């Protein structure tokens, strides 16, 4: 390698680092980074030691090898916000890796600079919120999208060892995505499998011994890595306490996320609930998520409700039984929802760009519509640059790739509509990966195209590229402006909600001898804005003497450990004990008659009595502290 080439590579690396720093600084100078939901803050509390008082890798949601490593970092240097830092490094690191690959692919400085501008426009125009309001499922999607792009655009080589060496990074990114959020990784795996089939199918001789060894070794090593991660995770949770809790966790997830509760009042349902020993008062705890109050609500009871719903679905009642699994919508209904989404894309995107209420109009379906329109534009660009100029078998190959991508994306969307999980933290990684796979296919096929070789075609190519880039930049600029307005509005709403939640945290910290049990729905959001925390501001990893009365860590060994630290055997007894320093906290507008009804069913006449109020920064009463006496 010549010295001039080395200097060129060094300048490119410095340019990419400066570019990535700019991508970090643009949102960072305007906003603080926030965790999206309390799922992330609970994970952070467990890993940092704020939940039980000591860092723990048992956070359930992430695979144990990764969660254990982050917990070790917290043990070594507790003051560093390791979890938030890790999520940011993964997301911005994915942008950096894509930028580095673009520098390698593009020829000429103008092309390199334009590719970085385009990447910045996509990152900040379409995914500004994901870079500022961080959610670990989306972070998993960033890693998978980056893995797909690096694999698609990787150099071809006939040497098995060199092929494996060049694809170590995509494989590691897949494993990282799997450890962060396995469900998202597996959902996006069809895109990676398609990339592998395209890559293999593009070899000069497909079924040579070298090619078979190359691709099977890469697939096999990745699968072995995933199996090893699963094995470590299984061993880590193999104890009786954790094993039984994971059964409860899976039963809770299946019931709440996929099946749902049937009304208690209907005679047939009431008869079933009575048969499994679930009273109307305990059913209310399942409705309002405060099920940690009742130790009789276990995995057997939750599985019984799910089995009952599954049986009714088989009989054609309530839910749907399709292809061997229970779904909230039938395949026909899901297909109709998907069709309606496609038909309304242009209108939803237009309304989003010209939204008058940035917070209400530029989120949810509006943001998804903008990203879907960007994907539609990417399909159009792929057709213009790689399908129309080609002839013969190469045109058929491009058409097959487009068809396969449409089948994968349609199948995933229809499945999400069937199970009722077409939520933003799931659909945004899907759209992100689809978009970047299209970008990878376009770059590779455009560079390998032979139809642009003569001078007339070359002139036409440049004209098409300029037109495509111009229209794309206009679209992404509009998306960037709309995204900035939306994130600004959400940021202000989060600051308001954050003030209320911090007031609660400070109140509990100021009464360190007490223990506070928080009503679940009072702990989720304020005026539709989730309670969460900033990643890097006001970092406090000290022990928290409060917990919600439900949620996905309720009844876990860590939950029991947290109660034991406070000298509590179970919160049902502790709350009603006249000598206990355990209090119940709810938002000021909550009706707590269900507490009296629940204890009354168990022969105890209690009443929530006002103890104190917690005021927000604006002087409004945010929470009320009650003694259950």
pLDDT tens, residue by residue, 477-533: 777 777 788 888 888 889 888 889 999 999 999 999 999 999 999 999 888 889 999
Distance CA 365, CA 120 (A): 23
Task: Give me the mean pLDDT over the 172-193 stretch.
Answer: 96
Q: Over the range 400-417, which residues count as b (16 or more CB within 10 Å of their CB) and which as e? A: ebbebbeebbeebbbbbb
DSSP 8-state code for residue 385: I
- The pTM assigned to this predicted structure is 0.93
Token pair of 300 as six digits:
């057997």
Length of the chain: 629
C-alpha pair distances (Å), 323 with each of 199, 306, 320, 326, 327 = 32, 17, 10, 8, 10
pLDDT (0 to 100) of residue 356: 55
Q: How do 546-548 and 582-587 pair as beta strands? A: unpaired
What is the reported pLDDT for 362? 44
**φ, ψ (nearest 5 deg) of residue 362:** -105, 60
Band of residue 392 on the pLDDT scale cut at 50, 70, 90: confident
Q: How many helices (H) and strands (E) does the chain have?
A: 25, 11
Query: For residues 259 and 255, what is the distance between their CA atoms, to the nearest angstrom?
Result: 5
User: According to the model, what pLDDT value does residue 23 have?
Assistant: 92
Residue range 7-55, pLDDT digits in tens: 777 888 888 899 999 999 988 988 889 999 888 999 999 999 999 999 9
Question: Average pLDDT for residues 146-160, to the nearest whole number?
Answer: 91
Averaged confidence pLDDT in the chain: 88
Q: Cβ neighbours of residue 569 under 8 Å, at least 6 residues apart?
A: 563
């Amino acid at each position: 390698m010549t010295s001039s080439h080395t200097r060129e590579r060094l300048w490119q690396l410095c340019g990419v680092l400066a570019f990535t720093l700019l991508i970090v600084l643009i949102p960072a100078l305007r906003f603080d980074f926030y965790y999206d939901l309390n799922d992330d803050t609970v994970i952070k509390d467990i890993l940092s030691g704020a939940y039980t008082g000591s860092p723990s890798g048992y956070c359930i949601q992430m695979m144990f090898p990764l969660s254990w490593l982050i917990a070790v970092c917290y043990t070594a240097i507790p003051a560093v916000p390791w979890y938030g830092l890790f999520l940011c490094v993964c997301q911005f690191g994915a942008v950096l890796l894509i930028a580095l690959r673009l520098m390698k692919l593009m020829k000429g400085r103008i092309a390199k600079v334009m590719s970085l501008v385009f990447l910045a426009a996509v990152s900040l125009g379409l995914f500004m919120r994901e870079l500022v309001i961080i959610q670990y499922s989306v972070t998993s999607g960033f890693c998978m999208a980056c893995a797909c792009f690096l694999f698609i655009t990787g150099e071809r080589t006939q040497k098995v060892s060199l092929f494996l060496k060049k694809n170590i990074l995509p494989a590691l990114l897949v494993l990282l995505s799997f450890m962060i959020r396995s469900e998202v990784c597996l959902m996006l795996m069809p895109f990676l499998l398609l990339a592998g089939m395209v890559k293999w199918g593009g070899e000069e001789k497909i079924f040579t011994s070298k090619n078979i060894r190359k691709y099977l070794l890469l697939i096999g090593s990745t699968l072995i890595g995933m199996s090893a991660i699963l094995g470590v995770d299984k061993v880590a949770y193999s104890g009786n306490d954790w094993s039984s809790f994971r059964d409860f966790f899976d039963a809770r997830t299946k019931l709440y996320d996929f099946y749902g509760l049937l009304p208690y009042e209907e005679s047939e349902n009431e008869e079933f609930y009575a048969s499994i020993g679930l009273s109307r008062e305990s059913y209310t705890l399942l409705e309002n998520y405060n099920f940690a109050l009742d130790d009789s609500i276990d995995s057997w009871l939750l599985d019984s409700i799910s089995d009952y719903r599954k049986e009714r679905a088989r009989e054609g009642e309530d839910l749907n039984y399709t292809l061997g699994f229970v779904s909230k919508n039938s395949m026909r209904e899901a297909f109709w929802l998907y069709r309606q989404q496609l038909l309304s894309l242009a209108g939803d995107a237009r309304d989003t760009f010209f939204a008058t209420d940035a917070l209400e109009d530029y989120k949810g379906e509006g943001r998804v519509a903008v990203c879907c329109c960007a994907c539609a534009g990417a399909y159009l660009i792929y057709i213009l640059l790689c399908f129309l100029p080609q002839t013969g078998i190469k045109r058929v190959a491009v058409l097959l790739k487009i068809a396969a991508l449409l089948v994968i994306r349609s199948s995933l969307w229809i499945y999400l509509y069937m199970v009722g999980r077409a939520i933003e933290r799931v659909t945004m990684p899907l759209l992100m990966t689809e978009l970047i796979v299209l970008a990878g296919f376009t770059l590779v096929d455009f560079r390998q195209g032979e139809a642009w070789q003569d001078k007339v075609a070359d002139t036409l190519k440049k004209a098409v590229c300029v037109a495509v880039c111009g229209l794309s930049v206009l679209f992404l600029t509009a998306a960037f402006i709309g995204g900035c307005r939306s994130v600004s509005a959400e940021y202000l709403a989060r600051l308001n909600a954050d003030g209320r939640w911090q007031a609660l945290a400070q109140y509990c910290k100021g009464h360190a001898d007490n223990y506070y049990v928080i009503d679940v729905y009072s702990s989720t959001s304020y005026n539709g804005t989730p309670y969460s925390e900033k990643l890097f501001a006001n970092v406090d990893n000290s022990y928290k003497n409060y917990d919600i009365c439900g949620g996905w860590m309720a009844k876990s060994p860590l939950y029991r450990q947290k109660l034991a630290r406070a000298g509590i055997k179970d919160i049902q007894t502790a709350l009603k004990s006249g000598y206990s320093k355990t209090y119940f906290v709810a938002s000021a507008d909550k009706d707590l008659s269900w507490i009296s009804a629940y204890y009354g069913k168990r022969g105890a006449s209690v009443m929530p009595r006002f103890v104190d109020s917690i005021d927000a920064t604006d002087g409004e009463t945010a929470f009320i502290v009650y003694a259950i006496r």
